[in-house]
Chain A
Amino acid sequence: MTAPMTAPTGPARLLDGIGSADVVRLDAHLARWGALPDVAARTLLESVDQSGLRGHGGAWFPAGTKWRSVAAGRSPVVVANGAEGEPASGKDRLLLHHAPHLVLDGASVAARAVGSKRVVVHVGEDSVSDVTAALIERERRGIDRCDFDIVVAPDRFLAGQESAVVNTVNNRNPGIPSFVALRPVREQGITGRPTLVQNVESLADVALIARYGPQWFRSVGTHDSPGTALVTVTGLWDAPRIVEVPLGTTLGSALGIPDERAATIQAVLLGGYGGGWLPTATALSMPFTEEAARSLGTSIGAGVVVLLPAGVCPLAEAARVVRYMEGEGAGQCGPCVNGLDVLATQLELLAHRPRSLRGGTSAFPTLCGLVEGRGACHHPDGVARFVRSALDVFGDHAALHLQRGPCQTTRPFLPVPATTGAVR
């Protein structure tokens, strides 16, 4: 059976098949998308390569490059990664709840493409029942040629980091990254085997690329960032909402934000707590792509967009976030352990005791430089990017603090969970 000729043509792709259903069960999934076409591994690798798909977990690494590297090794393992440790992101959980079969189709395709018999579905506690129910349906139909396991991700920021995922599955330092610069996970990961860790949204994209082809996939998006992105938007409605945005469009038009509403937004955080702040006008008018975000010194990361409203002190928020990120560090690398604590303290002073901050904000660039590129993972790099961009975008606000003292009224706005604390 081949896929029906009803590839989505509108801006919604991954969310298109959901409609009013709470959960798209296997029958409805097959009725909407058809069965996966029976295609050889080589063809699948070519399709993913040509599609230009990039990883939606936050790194935007070209999927095809990673797949080919893993496929070259012996008996690889595939991980469908839905850990989603980022507090302001909800898109992976949403996808796993409403459309688990798109994700599992993608994982099945990935396994076939790289020559793997084993798929690990790595998700938070919240998603275990959704995935279990979907896997039972698939087993009854016998539609997969690989074995699926579920591994529960620890509830911490770094849980979804590639080497941390491997450690969790290997049950050694769960949720803690390793130093893998000399021996990447794609060469030696789960039980020492080549391991493909791919975000669940990327895998859902794969499910559609396998059915409709790379040209269809590229009909939306830009050359370097094709397709769509699931974006978790905080600060526009009463509660965070997940929107599917065609890459390359502007957030202003995709979210339909009128000018008078935009004027009430202090600034926009792109890419979450390892991303960066942008002035509102810049964030809403730039093409929403990873390359545009990088050229502005940030990243769209896992598709996190936070619109900071008036009445909230941005420096107090930045201090809360950086203290949280400090607590979420793995506690392994000296520069990160020491540097993030100093950065958090300096921001707390700037936010709440600005007159005690000797030298004003002048120490921040040096401090950021002392942590950048010096961790086993990119945790310190993300924090440095967040801090640099905060001082850039909220420089006038910082000057006000230094001249007149801290904001008299503010309220916590950004979602900052209680920290899990360093392991050591």
Chain B
Amino acid sequence: MSRQRFRLVVDPVACDGAGVCAELLPELISLDPWGFPIMGPGEVPPSLVDLARRATVSCPRLALHLVRIDG
């Protein structure tokens, strides 16, 4: 059975730039000059999936989504 693969997606309408995600997951998320998150490209490394999931539930606007990559 193959392992599930994920990517992080931010809903830019919901996001208000609180910056919690970048604090919890600096390996994958940085902030732009205005405090809005910039996602690292591609798949979330398996070792970071649990942390990424924690970041999604910690977002005060629930703007961060961990999305399964199909196939």
Contacts and interface: CB of A to CB of B under 8 A. Distances in A.
Nearest to B38: A374
A309 interface: no
Given A182-B65, A334-B16, A376 B33 contact: no
A244 B31 CA distance: 46
User: Main SS of the interface on chain B?
Assistant: loop
Interface string A331-355: 0111110110000000000000000
Contact of A370 (B9, B16, B17, B33): B33
B24 interface: no
B34 A375 contact: no
Interface range for A: 10 to 19
B33 A333 contact: no
Contact of A179 (B12, B17, B67): B12
B14 interface: yes
Residue of A333, A334, A374 with most partner-chain B CB within 10 A = A334
Contact of A374 (B14, B33, B35, B36): B36
Contacts of B11: 179, 182, 376
Nearest to B65: A182
A178 B13 contact: yes
B20 interface: no
A335 B36 contact: yes
Contact of B34 (A178, A181, A182, A338): A338
Contact of B32 (A178, A335, A375): A335
A370 B34 CA distance: 10
Nearest to A374: B12
B12 A375 contact: yes
B36 A334 contact: yes
A334 B33 contact: no
Contacts of B17: 334
A261 B37 CA distance: 49
Contacts of A339: 34
Nearest to A178: B13
Contacts of A374: 12, 36, 38
Contacts of A335: 12, 32, 34, 36
A370 B33 CA distance: 9
A335 to B, nearest CB: 5
Interface in B16-32: 16-17, 32
Interface of A: 178-179, 181-182, 332-336, 338-339, 370, 374-376
18 contacts: A179-B11, A182-B11, A182-B65, A182-B67, A332-B13, A333-B12, A333-B13, A334-B16, A334-B17, A334-B35, A334-B36, A335-B32, A335-B34, A338-B33, A338-B36, A374-B36, A376-B12, A376-B13
Top 4 closest pairs, chain A to chain B, by CB: A333-B12, A334-B36, A338-B34, A179-B13
